[in-house]
Amino acid sequence: MITPADLIAAVEIVLLVAGIAGVAVGCVGLLMARDTYLRLHYLGPASSLGAPLIIAALVVHEGLSFSAVKLVLIGVLLIGSGAVTVAALGRAAAQRQGLIDMDPPA
């Protein structure tokens, strides 16, 4: 018979494996891609999906605690900052290659 502890352990493992797989696929993509913009496509999911899944596994492991609240806040920051970072790097790369105009000085 499956106990609640076994079910929680299974959820932890599934989340952890999915997160590690997301980060690993992103890393392999970064190594295999030849273009800057293709590398950014692999960077996005690794930072905004893989790491939060790993954090979700840690939250399930911790249960309801102050540590879990801190982990959730870190996960939210990773999801939000990952997309912003990819956009900023893409814009900087396009500016450096002359594809878009440089920002005027403030």
14-71 pLDDT, tens per residue? Answer: 999 999 999 998 889 888 988 888 888 888 878 788 888 999 999 999 988 999 999 9
Task: Output Rg (C-alpha) for the chain, integer angstroms.
Answer: 18
* pLDDT recorded at residue 80: 83
**pTM of this structure:** 0.79
Q: What is the dihedral of CA 57, 73, 41, 20, to 10 degrees?
A: -20
Render the burial of 13-40: b for 16+ CB within 10 Å, e for the rest. Answer: eebbebbeebbeebeebeeeeeeeeebb
- Mean pLDDT confidence for 73-86: 86
